[in-house]
A = this chain, B = another copy of it.
């Protein structure tokens, strides 16, 4: 069974979502490279996202353009001017990252980066805005239908990127022969989509991609799967929580050949078949018919999706089948690496991107509560669609939303707090320059120092230190300073002592070595 309800069904059952709802809205968005694409409201990362577009905080006079504060409009006796509200929320479907959310995002990205580094992948990035042509494909993918595209002021069709892979392919082609293969690159970037009709779904998410170009064999897929497993383990997730379903588009390809479907329809057929749990079987069959797949062939194809073992698949496709051979080798290698317990063969995995040609896979939670966590596959012919030479390639996308839901659900979200070594507080304003000097020296020693920048009471400073969970408080008072000393209070032990500036700096240096 696919692990997500359909988008349309969700929308029907939740016609109105409350503003700042904490409801998790599970829409299965299939065609993404990462299955965890554009989650509506993640439990943590999306906490500041709101569905209401217009809250009236400020008002702009429509004629003059002048902004007036609510309740402070001109005291004229006429009707109130027509006003347009300015919203303090980010644009619909986008997120702010205040400190809490940002710490979590940075932590997550750090895990992505650390795993990629251990695997000797190099980080790359591309513009978030690309030529629309890079993303327009004819296979009927949702990702292409939901492009956040527009015409720039120079009349060029551009789009906020919906995924990273086409940009990667473009950069590889740009580098040409100067780029030694294999290429092992990773990227973490924001991706966008636009839908007209629905409400409340995210229009952006971040996605971690790892891609290998130049390796034709499943060794590349196994390396990528190993990276995904390494990530899961790193954040405390086990193979009891999560699995990765594996199949190959070559399964479908064999069936299409058997039923004499024109090979040019391959990508479009895959995109339709991927919708099998989102639209009715009848609708799928109708769409397949339009692509030249007759009723019998459609039945054969759709029935084959229920195959759940390689033995069964071998029975269906024969021992000479390339799909079977690839998949067997993949499982055998994964066994050697030591992570085969994370993998399951599942012929129903097709993925919704047109360009996959071989292995396809997606990460899923074993409780079946969440959408796909990540997804990927082999795309050996993408580069030639851009006019380049075909180059063996595979990769995956891993979104920032579903994984955070899962970690939260399992109690695995880290407790992240700003770490402050010292709070420096001049008890008298006259000692402010000295406080600045002590602060500078502590920072030069590598310490994180919060300097109190205004005249405050001692009580405030202690409260402030407590709120920030700072380790030590440095107080500058005239009598201590005249002796070349400051008072240092350890905020956990509550012990305090007067020590010289030099001693303080020496201690700070030692603690940071």
Chain A positions near chain B (C-beta within 8 angstroms):
48, 57-60, 65-70, 84, 86-91, 94-99, 102-103, 105-106, 117-120, 122-131, 133-134, 136, 138, 148, 150-154, 156, 158, 160, 167, 170-171, 173-175, 180, 182, 184-185, 190, 192, 194, 196, 204, 212, 215-217, 219-220, 222-223, 226, 230, 332-333, 335-339, 384-388, 418, 420, 432-434, 436-437, 439-440, 443-444, 446-451, 453-454, 467-468
Given A119-B448, A150-B151, A219-B432: 9 more A-B contacts, CB < 8 Å? A69-B384, A86-B134, A86-B387, A88-B170, A99-B123, A118-B449, A150-B150, A336-B434, A337-B437
Contact yes or no, A120 B150, CB < 8 A: no
Q: Which of B48, B171, B212, B447 contacts A96 (CB 8 A)?
A: B171
Contact yes or no, A70 B387, CB < 8 A: yes
Contact yes or no, A118 B448, CB < 8 A: yes
Q: Which of B88, B125, B220 contacts A173 (CB 8 A)?
A: B88
A141 to chain B, nearest CB (A): 14
What are the residues of chain B within 8 A of A84 when measuring CB–CB?
Answer: 133
Smallest CB gap from A88: residue in B: B174
Smallest CB gap from A60: residue in B: B133
A454 to B333, CA, bound (A): 13
Q: Provide a sorted-by-A list of 19 A–B residue pairs whose CB atoms are within 8 angstroms.
A: A59-B387, A86-B133, A86-B386, A88-B170, A90-B167, A90-B170, A94-B129, A98-B175, A102-B122, A103-B123, A118-B443, A118-B446, A119-B449, A129-B160, A153-B196, A217-B454, A219-B453, A336-B437, A338-B440
Q: Given A88-B173, A124-B96, A126-B90, do A453 and B384 touch, yes or no (CB 8 Å)?
A: no
Smallest CB gap from A138: residue in B: B65
Smallest CB gap from A173: residue in B: B88
Q: Given A98-B171, A387-B69, do A204 and B127 touch, yes or no (CB 8 Å)?
A: yes
Smallest CB gap from A69: residue in B: B387
- Sort A-B residue pairs by CB-CB distance and give the 5 closest, nearest first: A58-B387, A336-B433, A337-B436, A94-B127, A88-B174
Q: Which of B226, B336, B448 contacts A117 (CB 8 A)?
A: B448
What are the residues of chain B within 8 A of A105 when measuring CB–CB?
Answer: 125
A351 to B200, CA, bound (A): 40
A268 to B469, CA, bound (A): 44
Contact yes or no, A57 B388, CB < 8 A: yes
A476 to B220, CA, bound (A): 19
A18 to chain B, nearest CB (A): 17
Q: Given A173-B88, A433-B337, do A194 and B152 touch, yes or no (CB 8 Å)?
A: yes
What are the residues of chain B within 8 A of A59 when measuring CB–CB?
Answer: 387
What are the residues of chain B within 8 A of A138 when measuring CB–CB?
Answer: 65-66
A174 to chain B, nearest CB (A): 4
Contact yes or no, B127 A436, CB < 8 A: no
What are the residues of chain B within 8 A of A158 when measuring CB–CB?
Answer: 91
What are the residues of chain B within 8 A of A88 when measuring CB–CB?
Answer: 170-171, 173-174, 386
Q: Which of B65, B130, B440 contacts A337 (CB 8 A)?
A: B440
A390 to chain B, nearest CB (A): 10
A298 to chain B, nearest CB (A): 26
Contact yes or no, B124 A102, CB < 8 A: yes
Contact yes or no, A433 B332, CB < 8 A: yes
Contact yes or no, A174 B102, CB < 8 A: no
A84 to chain B, nearest CB (A): 8
A195 to B473, CA, bound (A): 51
What are the residues of chain B within 8 A of A66 when measuring CB–CB?
Answer: 138
What are the residues of chain B within 8 A of A160 when measuring CB–CB?
Answer: 129
Contact yes or no, A96 B217, CB < 8 A: no
A70 to B170, CA, bound (A): 16
Q: Given A70-B387, A118-B446, A453-B182, do A125 and B102 touch, yes or no (CB 8 Å)?
A: yes
A41 to chain B, nearest CB (A): 15
Contact yes or no, B65 A136, CB < 8 A: yes
Q: Given A102-B122, A174-B89, do A451 and B215 touch, yes or no (CB 8 Å)?
A: no
Contact yes or no, B127 A96, CB < 8 A: yes
A95 to B170, CA, bound (A): 12
A384 to B70, CA, bound (A): 11
